[in-house]
């Protein structure tokens, strides 16, 4: 054993957030976004867990599948939060393809030893009830198959409160971010390394 030795310090466990503009703090200062608030909460609680925000505005599930292997290799996360799909829906993309992409992201994350949390979404009603309902239930279905937890509607506490939505009618305001964290926290907390 080397002088003054001992095992090298174990790296801090990582929560990797793979999201779109909703997690990339679109239109507000980055430090006010829900992902940064999560990191602050963990730090305040004395948790060693680090939060890595790999979210990109405009990202689709296909983009997530493409980027995920490199992020898994780089950060070796203990938990992967998948907050993708909204842009697939807003672009009217195939729900089958979206489900397959989500399944693949879950499989890749599990194969890398990470626990997974899926954040579900709803889309505006103008896409028609059949597509809208199919979109909403896709997250539940995929999470159920893979036996991973799901937050059924990430914007549940925000979507019907216009004062918490930016002028574009899509993105939550800075004031809404604590509510987004509040929506995610009960499902995320049990997955965090002790």
Q: Is the pLDDT of residue 150 over 60?
A: yes
Assess contact for 22 and 83: CB atoms under 8 A. yes
Give residue-wise pLDDT tens across range 13-38: 999 999 999 999 999 999 999 999 99
Q: Indicate whether 41 belongs to any domain.
A: yes
Q: pTM surpassing 0.85?
A: yes
Give 121-143 pLDDT, tens digit per residue: 999 888 889 999 999 999 999 99
pLDDT confidence of residue 2: 44
Percent of the chain with pLDDT over 90: 90
Structure tokens at 190: 């049990």
* Residue 3 belongs to some domain of the structure: no
Q: How far apart are CA 170 and CA 161, in angstroms?
A: 11
Query: Does an H or E element contain 184, and which?
Result: helix 177-188
> Mean of the pLDDT values across residues 159-187?
96
Is the distance from CB of 152 to CB of 110 less than 8 angstroms? no
Phi, psi dihedral angles at 53 (to 5 degrees): -100, 105
Helix (H, G, I), strand (E, B) or coil at 7: coil
Active site residues: 21, 168, 171
pLDDT score at 5: 54
Mean of all residue pLDDT scores within the chain: 94
CB 89 within 8 A of CB 135: yes
Residue 2 falls within a domain, yes or no?
no
Nearest-10 Cα torsion for 132, 135, 138, 140: -60
Domain extent, residue 65, equals 14-191
Residue 9 lies in a domain: no
150 within domain boundaries: yes
Q: What is the reported pLDDT for 1? A: 40
Strands 79-83, 115-119: pairing kind? parallel
Flag whether 8 is in a domain: no
Give the DSSP H or E segment for 104. Answer: helix 95-111
Residue 7 domain flag = no
Say what the pLDDT of residue 125 is. Answer: 83
**Whole-angstrom Cα distance, residue 142 to residue 14?**
24
pLDDT band at residue 10 using 50, 70 and 90 as cut-offs: confident
Tell whether the model's pLDDT for residue 4 goes beyond 70: no
Query: What is the CATH number for 175?
Result: 3.40.50.1110
Least confident among 103-107, 122-126, 142-146, 157-161: 122-126
Angstrom distance (rounded) from CA 98 to CA 103: 9
State residue 8's pLDDT score: 63
pLDDT given for residue 28 in this prediction: 97
Q: Is 145 inside any structural domain?
A: yes
The structural domain count of the chain equals 1
Q: Which two tokens stand for residue 122?
A: 């709803």
Q: Is residue 43 very low, low, confident or very high in pLDDT (cuts 50, 70, 90)?
A: very high
Q: What is the pLDDT of residue 59?
A: 98
pLDDT in tens, 49-82: 999 999 999 999 999 999 999 999 999 999 999 9
């Amino acid at each position: 054993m080397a002088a003054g030795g001992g095992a090298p310090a174990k790296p801090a466990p990582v929560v990797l957030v793979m999201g779109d503009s909703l997690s990339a703090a679109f239109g507000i200062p980055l430090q006010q976004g829900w992902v940064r608030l999560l990191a602050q909460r963990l730090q305040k609680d004395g948790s060693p867990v680090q939060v890595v925000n790999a979210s990109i505005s405009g990202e689709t599930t296909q983009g997530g599948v493409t980027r995920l292997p490199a992020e898994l290799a780089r950060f070796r996360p203990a938990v992967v939060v998948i907050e993708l799909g909204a842009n697939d829906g807003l672009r009217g993309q195939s729900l089958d393809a979206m489900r397959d992409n989500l399944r693949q992201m879950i499989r890749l994350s599990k194969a890398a030893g990470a626990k997974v949390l899926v954040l579900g979404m709803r889309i505006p009603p103008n896409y028609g009830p059949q597509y809208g309902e199919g979109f909403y239930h896709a997250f539940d279905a995929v999470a159920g198959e893979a036996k991973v937890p799901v937050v059924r509607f990430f914007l549940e506490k925000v979507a019907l409160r216009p004062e918490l939505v930016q002028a574009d009618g899509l993105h939550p305001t800075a004031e809404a971010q604590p509510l987004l964290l509040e929506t995610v926290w009960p499902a995320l907390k049990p997955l965090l390394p002790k």
